[in-house]
Chains A and B, each alone.
Chain A
């Protein structure tokens, strides 16, 4: 069965600094997708970044980049130049081979300090 592990329950980062949120995954499939979402206290799940298992380059979206290390089965999220508005819960998720069933990690709460 597929599994996502986020080992950092909470993280603090100073405003304007970079931060890395860890995510490891377990799957026997060769084809899969990896996602990062941000969930502020309002509850909305905001899409940040997506990486397909066959994508050769690491995905980037503005200040977000995904450090994809396939052999190590890790998909860490890097947020550069942290802002106060980045304070939220962050979820790593993996899509199974067929369809849109996502398996989520437990999440990491990020707090940005001024």
Chain B
């Protein structure tokens, strides 16, 4: 059974650019959530999608957005990149979304220059 797949694994962007990250959940999982990990702030929740609807949103500016497709794959987008957006972005999937295990992918490591 394939795990959570995130692409790309590594990327480098410059300030002002925008970036799109992709997450394919475990087959059958309908909930996808996104987290940002930085040395200073630790792990912070970005947003969660369940059956193509955003169900939860963290305290991030509007430059951070996401969506989920009918096959449960999700993308997150960061526009007008800032140096502080450099982070490991982790995606997690869950079968239902309010109980049971939550599995993470390997992450996408973004560097903003």
Contacts and interface: CB of A to CB of B under 8 A. Distances in A.
A101 B58 contact: yes
Contacts of A46: 104
A33 B45 CA distance: 16
B48 A50 contact: no
Interface of A: 33, 35, 37, 42-47, 50, 52, 91, 93, 95, 97-104, 106-107
Interface of B: 31, 33, 35, 42-43, 45, 48, 50, 55-56, 58, 88, 90, 92, 94, 97-107, 109
A41 to B, nearest CB: 12
5 contacts: A43-B88, A44-B104, A52-B99, A99-B50, A100-B50
A49 to B, nearest CB: 9
B109 A100 contact: no
A95 to B, nearest CB: 7
A47 B29 CA distance: 16
